[in-house]
Structures are given as C-alpha cells and as structure tokens.
A and B are shown apart, each in its own frame.
Chain A
Amino acid sequence: MWPKTLKNAPGQGNYLEFLARRDKSVGAFLHVTGSIRQNGGAPSDSGADGGNTCLEGVPVAVKDNIAVEGMPLTCGSRILEPLVSPYSATAVERLERAGARVVGKTNLDEFGMGSSTETSALGETNNPWDVSRVAGGSSGGSAAAVAARMVPVALGSDTGGSIRQPAAFCGVYGLKPTYGTVSRHGLVAYASSLEVIGAAAESVDVLEAAYAAMSGSDVMDQSSLDHPVPPPDSGATRIGFLGGELGLSPEVAENYARFVEALGDAGYETEEIALSTLEYVVPAYYTIASAEASANLARFNGVRYGHRTDYSENPEELIRKSRTEGFGSEVKNRIVLGTYVLRSGFQDQYYLRAQKIRTLIRREIERAFAGVDLICSPVFPTQAFPHGSKEMDAFQQKVADRFTGTANLAAIPALTVPSGLAGGLPVGMQFMAPPFGEGRLFAAARTIGEIFPVEFPPGMEPPWAADRE
C-alpha cells in the first residue's frame, strides 16, 4: 500500500497536506519538511543494497534526536532549538539509500528522558487512540505518527524502553535492536552504553526491511559491530514468560494472561520463568543512564551551538546560565543525579555497583536463553495514561521501566507486538531474544500477528493515497 508513495512529484504536495491535517490532533511532528528529500535515493544505490526495494518511495519520520542533514535537531530541548544538523545519521543515510524518504522530525521527551513525551519543551504529543492521553515516550512522536498512519515506519531511539513503550501505548510494532547492530553515528548521545536506534512500524514487513537497511557496522561508530548476517531464523519453539507478581494494571494483567494462552494456541511450548535480578533493573539502569547523561550533556554549554544566554560577564557564567535556561527540569534532575553518583566517594556505592549488577543481569539472561528461545513479558504495567497523570508521575514512570530496561542492560534485541485492545486502548507485549536474534523476533511477531493483528485508531484507518486526496 505504501511503496512508491512519494516517487512521483505530483503526489508529494498532497501527501504533505495530508500530513499537516492529520497531525493537528496528534502533534507527532516537531518539524515537517517543506519538500520531500530526494538526495538519498539514487536508484543505482538502492538496487545495490538489494532486498530493500519495499522501502522505495516510502515516507519515514525520524525522532528529533537523530540527525537529518538540513533539518532541525532539537532533542525536544530549548538548548538545541536553534540547531540545524549539517549531516545525517548513518541509519538515516542507509534508509534513504534504500529508497525511503524522510518527511519530518518527531517529538520526544527532552533528550529522551521520559516515558510520556511530556518533558518535551517544544510540543505536546497526543495518543491517536485518545488525545487526552499520552503517546508514551520517549519516542512518542514516532509511535504516534505510525499509529495515526502518517508514516508506515518511524525511527526512534531506545535507552530503557523508549521505542517499545510508546509502541505499546499506540498499538504498533516497536523494535529495539541488539546493541551495536545499528550505528549510533548521528544519534545525540544520552546514555551511550545503553541506547540504540530502532523503529516503530505498522507491520513486521516494513520493520524488518528498515532494520535490514539500517544495520551493519559503521566506521563512524566504534561500538557498531561486525557480525555476520544471521541465516533466516526458523523461529522459536520454546517461549519463557515472566511470571510472579508483576504489579500490572487489571487490564494489562488480563491481556497478558490471554497473550500467553495465545502463544500456546499458536503452537509454542510455554513455561513460566522468573528473573531474580528484575528488582535491580531499574536502580541499575537509572544509575548508569544518569551517570552517562551527566557526561554526555556536558557538551551543551552555549558556546559552539544551541541556546546562549543573552548576557554574561565571563565564559563560566555564560555556560552556567545557558545550561540553566536551556535544560528542562527532568533533564536537570538527571544531570544532578548522574553527577552525584559519579562523585568520588559515592562511585563505588552507586555507579560501580550498578555496573556489576549489569553483569549479573547479563548472566541471568544468558542462563534463561539456555532453556527457552524467547522471553515474553509485558512492556509496561499500564496502558497509555492521561496527560498530567498524578498516579503516573516522573518517579512512577521510572519504576515502570522494569520490563524494558533488562534488554538495554543486557544489550539484547526486543520487540513490542500489539496484543489487542482493552477499554478501547491498545496493549502491547514484548519478546526478548538472545543477541542478534532479530530474525527470531520477527518470526514470532508474524505468528502471533495472526491472532493479534495490528489495529488502527478510529477515523485514522486509511493511510494516505494519492488518488483519494
């Protein structure tokens, strides 16, 4: 349906009109291109890449912490509001080479710090299923753009669940690849050892095509990996599902039980598993993420780019004032927290201990995969919550990262799949696979997609079609 959408110039104008119209109630985009970028997709290039022709002419949206040449790169922050990126991320370049067309930049929690897209300083994003609710975060704009059928696939970044959680809230697929398989060159760093570029998508096919186009080692990212392309995965037979007291809302608990039952109906052997390290996931994750954030965000100082304070007497005052004015409150919280856990005298107690716990988590995950092919768990304890929710405040949102954070700490791939509706809102479940097991995730998503097909919000079912507009 989508392929070749933007190949013909006459169709492009009314596609952009469609985008502006549909985004009015959603607010997925911070920036929409005035004209469709064509530079990436020389036909000979896309042919040479092979196998990705289903991306030819397909519109993609890009989270606004991933660089696209000539477009803003705000990270949802006042401090980078004036910045226009002089180059494109490797992942974007590769997608464009496969024929995809970047149509705009999507909203996010400031620097990816949040689970609701509400910490963005530059715009509000609504859930397309219910505009009084959040789209999730931090890649809320990307997931909302896909759910509202503005694009079939949108890039995001996932540091502790930032693609998978909004994908669940919006009822679409969301992939967090194996760490290192997609170059981070051009992704504005927040927590370098945890984050990875991935995507939200309306179908497994387009998600797989986008992942295939983006992945591969890159000289510009020394943590990117040379690994052989795995053979097509014959799929999982044994799935371990996370059991015990998980602290889920009644709707998510009921949906999870039904999902596990459906796995059995689909022919998988299922067994309940427990992860003893689960209680340490969120503390270890936030210790490491905040520590890395405090270092990575030290570069934003008002000197070379971004926001600069109006007046200062000396360079140090310029830096302090620019940072204080430019960063939002959640970012300041995490910078101070990260600075604290790295201070001499506290480092062993927090940062070093968290790194050791990370080893325990990796080992436990390795052991778990000796017995099962995939691990299944909820994505988030609740469905999409209302804007400004008191119950789901900033602290509770962090605590709720317990199911998603494991994959980032263990560097393994994980995929959110839609699991039906409850009370008119989508629910999503998560599969985790051993490193480089993306093929196995896609295979399972296709199988379970027969039982839980992706659904779209009322009124937003039809995607753009040149002849209808």
Chain B
Amino acid sequence: MDSAELTTTIDMAMLELAPDESDTVQRSVSQMLDYFAVMAAAPVDGVEPTTHAFSTTNRTRPDTRNERSVADELLESAPDLEDRFIAIPNVL
C-alpha cells in the first residue's frame, strides 16, 4: 500500500496518526496484504460467497415494550451531559 492510499484509508477510518505511528500501520498493513496475495490462487470461480454460516432469512423479534429501561444508565455513560442531552462541540 503506498502512502497516498494509506492516508486516504486512515482518513476513512476516522483516525489521525502521527508520522511514526503511520509508518507502523503501513508496515503492518502491507505485510498482511502481501500475505493475502495467496488468496488469488484459490479456485473460487462460480463459488457463492458465505457471509453468515447459518443465516437464512431475516429474523425479527416482537415489537413489544421492554419492562426495564436502561435509558438513564446509558445517558450516565456519556462523557458530557447537559440535562438529558449529550453535549458535543459546536457543529457550526
């Protein structure tokens, strides 16, 4: 993976890496991609991909009210709150 591809990918991954950390990631990722090259030889023509081993159809659960709400605990987990709103820096 070249530096331009690396920069784009790091950006898409919502990370910002210092130069030395970026070098480490580039080495590690390139090593894995080289290793992945063996897959090119696999006889996959006409083979269906497997995404989930046993999934057949989408399963839903009944749309019923849950007896116990964890809303307050979830709000308490937020790093910064204003009343019952999660606070973040200004959007504009």
Chain A positions within 8 Å of B, measured between CB atoms, are 82-84, 86-87, 179-180, 193, 219-220, 222-223, 225, 277, 279-280, 282-284, 286-287, 290, 294, 298, 301-308, 312-315, 317-321, 323-324, 327, 329, 332-333, 335-337, 339-341, 343, 349-350, 352-360, 362, 394-395, 398-399, 410-411, 435
Among B1, B28, B73, max chain A CB count under 10 A is at: B28
A87, B5: Cα distance in complex, Å: 41
Minimum CB–CB distance for B59 against chain A, Å:
5
| CA of A179 to CA of B21, assembled, Å | 36
Other A-B pairs, 16, CB within 8 Å; known A283-B36, A284-B39, A314-B89: A84-B77, A180-B54, A219-B61, A222-B59, A225-B54, A306-B79, A321-B16, A329-B21, A332-B21, A333-B24, A335-B13, A339-B13, A340-B33, A350-B36, A354-B39, A362-B50
Our pick among A284, A308, A336 for the contact of B9 (Cβ within 8 Å) is: A336
Contacts of B14 on A, CB cut-off 8 Å?
298, 301, 319-320, 323
Q: Closest 3 interchain pairs by CB? A: A411-B53, A355-B49, A86-B73
When the two chains form their complex, are residues B48 and A359 in contact, meaning their CB atoms are under 8 A apart?
A: yes
Complex CA–CA separation, A302 to B79 (angstroms):
7
> Are A314 and B90 in contact, with the CB atoms below 8 A?
yes
Given A313-B89, A333-B25, A355-B50, residue A280 in contact with residue B16 (CB < 8 A): no
Given contacts A219-B61, A355-B50, contact A324 B25 (CB under 8 A): no
Do residues A362 and B53 form an inter-chain contact, with CB atoms below 8 A? yes
User: Which of chain B's residues has its CB closest to A313's CB?
Assistant: B89
Expressed in whole angstroms, the minimum distance between the Cβ of A191 and any Cβ of chain B is: 12
Distance in angstroms between the alpha carbons of A287 and B24 in the assembled complex: 19
Tell me the complex Cα distance, A398–B54, Å.
26
Instruction: State whether A220 touches B61 (Cβ < 8 A).
Output: yes
Q: Which of B7-33 contact A (CB under 8 A)?
A: 9-10, 12-17, 21, 24-25, 28-29, 31-33
Tell whether, in the assembled complex, residue A336 and residue B25 are in contact, meaning their CB atoms are under 8 Å apart.
yes
Please tell me if the beta carbons of B79 and A323 are within 8 angstroms of each other in the complex. Answer: no
Hey, what's the 0/1 contact readout for B37-70 against A, CB within 8 Å counting as 1? 0111011100111111111001111100000001
Name B residues whose Cβ lies closer than 8 Å to a Cβ of A.
1, 5-6, 9-10, 12-17, 21, 24-25, 28-29, 31-33, 35-36, 38-40, 42-44, 47-55, 58-62, 70, 73-74, 77-80, 86, 88-91
- Other-chain contact of A312, B35, B54, B89 (Cβ < 8 Å): B89
Whether B88 lies near A287 (C-beta < 8 A) is no
- Which of B15, B44, B88 touches A315 (beta carbons < 8 Å)? B88
For B79, the chain A residues whose CB sits under 8 A away are: 82, 302-303, 305-308
Complex Cα gap A32–B49 (Å): 43
B44: chain A residues at CB < 8 Å are: 353, 356-357, 359-360
Determine the distance from Cα of A108 to Cα of B79 in the docked complex, in whole angstroms: 24
Interchain CB contact under 8 A, B60 and A329: no
